[in-house]
Amino acid sequence: MTIKVAEGIVRALEMLGVELIFGIPGSQTCPLYDALYSSRIRHILVRHEQMAAYMADAYAKFTGRLGVCDGTGGPGATNLLTGIATSWTDRVPILAFTGQQPLTHLGRGAFQELDHVAIFSPVTKWSTRLIKPEKTIETIKEAYKRAVWGRPGPVHIDLPLDVQTQPLGEEAERQLEDLQAVLNVPKPLGEPEAVRRALKLLIESQRPIIIAGGGVHYSSRAWRELRMLAEQLMIPVVTTFNGRGSIPEDHPLSAGRMGVYAPTYTDKLLAEADVILAVGCRFAALSTKRWSNINPNSTIIHIDIDPAVIGRNYRTEVGIVGDARTVLRVLLNEAGSLSDLGTERRRGWLKTLEEARESWRNSPHYRRTLSSERPIKPQRACAEIRRALKRDATLTIDAGNNKMWASTFIEIYEPRTWIQSGCFGPMGYAIPAAIACKLAEPERLVVAICGDGGFYMSMHELSTALQEEAPIMVCIFNDGALGTIKHHQRSRYGGRLISVELENPDFVSVAEAMGCHGVTVDEPDQLGQALREGVRMVMNGQPVVVDIHIDGDEPLP
């Protein structure tokens, strides 16, 4: 007896290695959920579809595998969009399913009818509606390829209710057997002559720098190769926001995180570099301070799997189209055959890095990591969080000033320990992202950092964390305001504050009402103990919320 389309979809996902799906059932997705009932795939019931998309995004960033989410028709589908746009901006492989009314009802005023394909098309690599049952496995295969092969990104499949219940067909069932061939993702290594030219430029340079983007950290998982190349050639490494974790930030060659509110020594090196090797980065606005922090006279080597990115924002001397990990391995092999890698001529450059980094650590902004002032300085909160966590604890970061404080004053040491809301910058990301990472790796300590505004947008997902047994710790940087916009209104609009100050409830009481442990911290000297106790409780299976009352008037560096 032939299986139905919904069952065929689930079997296809199983063969593709899918372990988790995030979403909420609806009337148009009931057949899909009925097929999941007997599947080894675990479905995670979220409280809002936007959080399902955030979870799928964070899961993909954390694991390097396809993230999957779903929503029913109409509002369920539109609720997914913000999270899918986040994945689109950060180039993250996501497969989103939406339910749809029966084909025979479309165009006739059906309940919750909406053209999902049209609304998902601008923020996906591919958006399609499954119409013919015999095309089911072919459609899943194509969706996987589009999401994972080449430049990663989200894809979308709309599932009409009547199609889901039709027989899959014998030919489509046979296609299931060959589906796993799509898992063999091609890894282009770049044009050999371009690789040799790039290596020659690096060896001959006196002040080179490597920029590690999200393509190193999230996509290609090329952090080992990048670090080896930097050490072999003795070249400093800066990272973009998404590239953090590509090199330990206490490594002698780490030049920190580049971009807005970055440490001053990072800007100094970028402004003086004579050769820049950019790997898996797009030179986007936040990391380049709106295209102002790169030496305009530097020679740029750009490695990216997407040829459209190379040379888009900066003139490129050598462009290499290829997978970051594969190309870096080729560079390593080429460098290994040479006797002189030019490291002697870069000793002065490395001394510049050391002195610039030390100057930053002696700056007034950095010294506030030791401040005992009240309200708690955000720098002190960041320093205490870092001290309370092991090197391999994963941080998930929301949008807003909390992200800027954390990205400037919390050092990141290991891969997959910095999962952020990305260039799209949606609020409410940190908590669902933390849950997804915890579900993917239950033994990992996962800490969400958010502002009070962001906490409002996703605090309901603490219920998901409890139900799904995914204990996380949430650190709220509570300044009683939408801090980023409040600072803008002060600095750019004469201090005319409107709709930025928040009358907050007792977040600890809210957390405890949901079954979490909560603690409020007002004194700097209480923070370390509160965080250490929170870590202990989380590792024992209890979600924790630490409400840190920070100084909202402290200016970003």
pLDDT for the residue numbered 1: 60
The fourth-level CATH superfamily of domain 363-549 is Thiamin diphosphate (ThDP)-binding fold, Pyr/PP domains (3.40.50.970)
| Mean model confidence pLDDT for the chain | 96
Secondary structure class of 159 (helix, strand, coil):
strand
Helices of type H across 95-155: 116-120, 136-148
pLDDT for the residue numbered 131: 97
Structure tokens at 486: 């409040």
Task: Tell me the C-alpha distance between 481 and 455, whole Å.
Answer: 12
pLDDT digits (tens, 9 = 90+) for 322-368: 999 999 999 999 999 999 999 999 999 999 999 999 999 999 999 99
pLDDT for the residue numbered 117: 98
Give the pairing of strands 20-23 and 67-71: parallel
Q: Specify whether the CB–CB gap between 23 and 36 falls below 8 A.
A: no
The fourth-level CATH superfamily of domain 5-183 is Thiamin diphosphate (ThDP)-binding fold, Pyr/PP domains (3.40.50.970)
Distance of CA 163 to the CA centre of its chain: 34
Domain 192-360 is found in CATH 3.20.20.70? no
Task: Tell me the C-alpha distance between 504 and 520, whole Å.
Answer: 13
Helix 378-388 with 524-539: angle, nearest 10 deg: 40
The dihedral sign for the CA sequence 262, 263, 268, 270: negative
Task: Tell me the C-alpha distance between 232 and 43, whole Å.
Answer: 45
Kindly report the backbone phi and psi dihedral angles of residue 70, in degrees, each rounded to the nearest multiple of 5, phi listed first: -150, 155
Task: Tell me the C-alpha distance between 199 and 203, whole Å.
Answer: 6
Task: Tell me the C-alpha distance between 276 and 268, whole Å.
Answer: 14
pLDDT in tens, the chain (557 residues): 689 999 999 999 999 999 999 999 999 999 999 999 999 999 999 999 999 999 999 999 999 999 999 999 999 999 999 999 999 999 999 999 999 999 999 888 888 899 999 999 999 999 999 999 999 999 999 999 999 999 999 999 999 999 999 999 999 999 998 999 999 999 999 999 999 999 999 999 999 999 999 999 999 999 999 999 999 999 999 999 999 999 999 999 999 999 999 988 999 999 999 999 999 999 999 999 999 999 999 999 999 999 999 999 999 999 999 999 999 999 999 999 999 999 999 999 999 999 999 999 999 999 999 999 999 999 999 999 999 999 999 999 999 999 999 999 999 999 999 999 988 999 999 999 999 999 999 999 999 999 999 999 999 999 999 999 999 999 999 999 999 999 999 999 999 999 999 999 999 999 999 999 999 999 999 999 999 999 999 999 999 999 999 999 998 88
pLDDT for the residue numbered 557: 81
Question: Where are any strands of DSSP class E within 49-164?
Answer: 67-71, 94-100, 126-129, 154-160
Structure tokens at 86: 């986040």
- How many angstroms separate the Cα of 513 from the Cα of each of 45, 505, 544? 20, 12, 12
Q: Specify whether the CB–CB gap between 471 and 437 falls below 8 A.
A: no
Say which amino acid occupies 322. G
Neighbours of 3 (CB within 10 A): 17
H-helix or E-strand spanning residue 95: strand 94-100
Q: Specify whether the CB–CB gap between 27 and 47 falls below 8 A.
A: no
Task: Tell me the C-alpha distance between 128 and 149, whole Å.
Answer: 18
Q: Return the residue matching tokens 């003139």.
A: 315
Say which amino acid occupies 390. K
Task: Tell me the C-alpha distance between 90 and 111, whole Å.
Answer: 34
Helix 49-63 with 75-90: angle, nearest 10 deg: 30
- How many angstroms separate the Cα of 410 from the Cα of each of 25, 386, 405, 534, 551? 38, 6, 8, 18, 17
Task: Tell me the C-alpha distance between 391 and 377, whole Å.
Answer: 23
For CATH 3.40.50.1220, the residue range(s) in the chain are: 192-360
The dihedral sign for the CA sequence 262, 264, 447, 530: negative
pLDDT for the residue numbered 299: 98
Of 115, 119, 101, 73, which Cα lies nearest the Cα of 160? 101
pLDDT for the residue numbered 146: 98
